Amino acid sequence: MKTFTPKPADLTHDWYVIDATDVVLGRLASQAAILLRGKNKLTYAPHADSGNHVIILNADKIALTGNKLGKELYMHSGRPGGLRRDSYGKLLKTNPERIIKSAIKGMLPKNRLAKVQLDRLHIICGTEHPYAGQKPQVFEIAQVSQQAK
């Protein structure tokens, strides 16, 4: 059996829209990471950039389970004294994009390809997005939070 290696002409970058209303953060991040890497395609190869563009709407309406509202998210600028920590509860009100982006970044591989794939992630707090010209497909995450019901 021969190993399939996709050629650059075989690689396409589709567009997907995910509505994050009442979706648990981990489920949203894992599905978005699969789409960003292109693992949903038949032409997937770990070394090739076959990822898709992912638009996440209603980022401020995600569901956090357990005691995550009290936990903190850390970020370091790389400079001395550059450690920044914010609680998830505060970030959910002020900057929910940072919560989702850090969760998805942790699920991508730790290599040069991860930055290229993460640049295709578009997180929006509202329901309107400026990417209608790309004709994105709706990607449905079936299981929503039990607390939201």
The Cα–Cα gap between 33 and 102 comes to: 11
Q: How crowded is residue 96: how many other Cβ atoms within 10 Å of its Cβ?
A: 21
Q: Is the pLDDT of residue 145 over 80?
A: no
4-13, 24-33, 56-65: least confident range: 4-13
The band of 41, judged by pLDDT with boundaries at 50, 70 and 90, is very high
Specify whether the CB–CB gap between 149 and 123 falls below 8 A: no
pLDDT digits (tens, 9 = 90+) for 98-141: 999 999 999 999 999 999 999 999 999 999 999 999 999 999 99
In the chain, pLDDT over 70 holds for what percent of residues? 97
Residue 44 falls in which region: left (phi positive, over 0), alpha (psi -120 to 50) or beta: beta
What percent of the chain has a predicted confidence (pLDDT) above 90? 80
Which value, to the nearest 10 degrees, does the dihedral of the CA atoms of residues 70, 74, 80, 81 take? -10
Residue 100 parent element (H or E)? helix 96-106
Widest Cα–Cα separation across the chain: 54
In the DSSP assignment, the letter for residue 64 is -
Question: pLDDT by residue (tens digit) across 133-144?
Answer: 999 999 999 877
Nearest alpha-carbon partner for 13 in 105, 120, 100, 118: 120
Encoded amino acid at 20, one letter? A
d(CA 87, CA 96): 11
Encode pLDDT of 53-101 as tens digits: 999 999 999 999 999 999 999 999 999 999 999 999 999 999 999 999 9
pTM of the model: 0.91
